[in-house]
């Protein structure tokens, strides 16, 4: 038995079986490649589900994180720390939002956003029966609040009852949203590009019409950019392509470049009329290590012109995946924007993904029949060509 198989067997005996894992044990990475414990190289088009935006073995990033490890990792939020303050300033600058709360994950950012929206409604009229409109086929996380607004019944059913007063509209269907809006609606939440639900970008007209409804009725627009944010679409946040600014924004994944971190941000109006001291908290959120990671990610995004690279290479990837879609009858549709794209097949894609892994290409699915492409944001056209060569062999 190989050492790799021994590790896999140990993992299966020890870890809770909540994942059907691919049969590989990764050891380290360099650039846009991962290496398993036997030294085999893999071209990575998953980036840890959109986390490793700057690639692996990034010396400047590693040095920044190591330097903070040698200073201090944690103080708690009863005190200030410089990395968190600098990180807050940097994220506010790229997002145009006014206030930020750092979390440890995307799901926690969603939980905070839900609480802020409900508190906003409560302070407005003193009622506790406010409703939130979410979208069918959405994915916001696995914690109970985030699960409650996730638009896939199969995810929710075993854990009922969810938190109450959640209504589901159809994504990109404004009439379905209008049909649910009433005097109890305190927020409308959606992903600006649906990720797990199948790589569906929000249409500009839909976003603008939802924003108009929120403005007219003093409803909060919450945009979940945990996966599609931080440069993935070619803008820091996907809503910036259309100028449809949310009242509350959630972000995570690539925000820390590998260190677990998330955040929810809000406008000053929401901040002054929602959460106050004692309403929300976290032990680890905004710790100095996460702050230092965020600051270095922001610095490199600017220095390396990451957004420009996403737009250029994303357009190239789109063109090439369009060619794949046109030449393979079993491809139903090609969707996406920037370096967040998907190929939908008329059959399950697990076999294709497993074949690709054997040939040294890391891909991931979205649902059973969609291959999702989420490479590091520093990939080149040559990396796309290398990916396509393997993908075509697997098809």
Same domain, 132 and 223: yes
The predicted-structure confidence for 79-103, as pLDDT tens digits, reads as follows 999 999 999 999 999 999 999 999 9
DSSP 322: H
Enumerate residues 6+ apart whose C-beta is below 8 A from 42. Answer: 24, 26, 33, 34, 35, 36, 357, 360, 361, 362
Contact 230, 185 (CB under 8 A): no
Same domain, 202 and 293: yes
Same domain, 179 and 262: yes
Contact 294, 221 (CB under 8 A): no
Dihedral-angle region of residue 383 (phi above 0 means left; psi in -120 to 50 means alpha; beta otherwise): alpha
Assign residue 26 the CATH number of its domain: 3.90.1150.10
State the pairing for strand pair 131-135/185-191.
parallel
Enumerate residues 6+ apart whose C-beta is below 8 A from 154. Answer: none
Same domain, 187 and 321: no
Of 170, 171, 173, 137, nearest to 154 by C-alpha is 137
Enumerate residues 6+ apart whose C-beta is below 8 A from 310. Answer: 231, 232, 233, 234, 338, 339, 377
Domain boundary residue among 303, 331, 360?
303
Helices (H), 96-132: 106-125
* pLDDT score recorded for residue 72: 97
Backbone angles phi, psi at 42, to 5 degrees: -135, 130
Same domain, 145 and 267: yes
Contact 222, 113 (CB under 8 A): yes
Here the tokens at position 316 are 């190239």
Three-class secondary structure assignment of 129-140: CCEEEEECCCCC
20 is in which domain, residue-wise? 3-54+305-394
* pLDDT score recorded for residue 230: 98
Radius of gyration of the chain (CA): 21
Same domain, 321 and 291: no
Same domain, 353 and 258: no
Q: For the chain, which ranges sit under pLDDT 50?
A: none
* pLDDT score recorded for residue 115: 98
Whole-angstrom distance, CA of residue 329 vs CA of residue 306: 34
Q: Name the pTM for this structure.
A: 0.97
Same domain, 145 and 225: yes
Of 149, 249, 151, 150, nearest to 192 by C-alpha is 249
Q: Give the number of domains in the chain.
A: 2
Here the tokens at position 46 are 């998953």
Here the tokens at position 250 are 């959630």
């Amino acid at each position: 038995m190989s050492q790799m198989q021994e590790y896999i067997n140990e993992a299966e005996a020890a870890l809770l079986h909540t994942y059907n894992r691919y049969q590989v044990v990764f050891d380290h990475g360099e650039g846009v490649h991962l290496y398993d414990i036997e030294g085999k190289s893999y071209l990575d088009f998953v980036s840890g589900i959109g986390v490793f935006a700057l690639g692996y073995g990034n010396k400047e990033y590693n040095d920044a994180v190591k330097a903070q490890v040698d200073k201090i990792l944690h103080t708690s939020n009863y005190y200030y720390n410089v990395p968190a303050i600098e990180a807050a300033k940097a994220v506010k600058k790229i997002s145009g939002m006014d206030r930020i709360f750092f979390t440890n994950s995307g799901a926690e950012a969603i939980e905070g956003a839900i609480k802020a929206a409900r508190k906003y409604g409560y302070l407005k009229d003193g009622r506790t029966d406010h409703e939130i409109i979410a979208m069918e086929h959405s994915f916001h996380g696995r914690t109970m609040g985030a699960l409650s607004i996730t638009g896939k019944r199969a995810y929710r059913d075993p854990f009922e009852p969810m938190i109450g007063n959640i209504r589901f509209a159809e994504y990109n269907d404004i009439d379905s949203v209008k049909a649910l809006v009433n005097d109890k609606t305190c927020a409308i939440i959606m992903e600006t590009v649906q990720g797990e639900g199948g790589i569906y970008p929000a249409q500009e007209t839909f976003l603008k019409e939802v924003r108009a409804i929120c403005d007219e009725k003093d409803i909060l627009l919450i945009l979940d950019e945990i996966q599609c944010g931080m440069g993935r679409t070619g803008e820091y946040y996907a809503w910036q392509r259309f100028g449809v600014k949310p009242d509350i924004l959630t972000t995570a994944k690539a925000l820390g470049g590998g260190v677990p971190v998330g955040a929810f941000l809000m406008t000053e109006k929401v901040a002054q009329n929602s959460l106050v001291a004692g309403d929300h908290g976290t032990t680890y959120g905004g710790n100095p290590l996460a702050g230092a990671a965020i600051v270095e990610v922001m610095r490199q995004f600017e220095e390396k012109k990451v957004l420009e690279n996403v737009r250029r290479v994303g357009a190239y990837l789109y063109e090439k995946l369009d060619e794949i879609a046109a030449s393979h009858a079993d491809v139903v549709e090609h969707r996406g924007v920037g370096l967040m794209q998907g190929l939908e097949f008329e059959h399950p894609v697990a076999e294709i993904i497993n074949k690709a892994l054997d040939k040294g290409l890391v891909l991931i699915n979205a649902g059973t029949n969609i291959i999702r492409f989420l490479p590091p944001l520093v990939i080149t056209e040559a990396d796309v060509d290398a990916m396509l060569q393997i993908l075509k062999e697997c098809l």
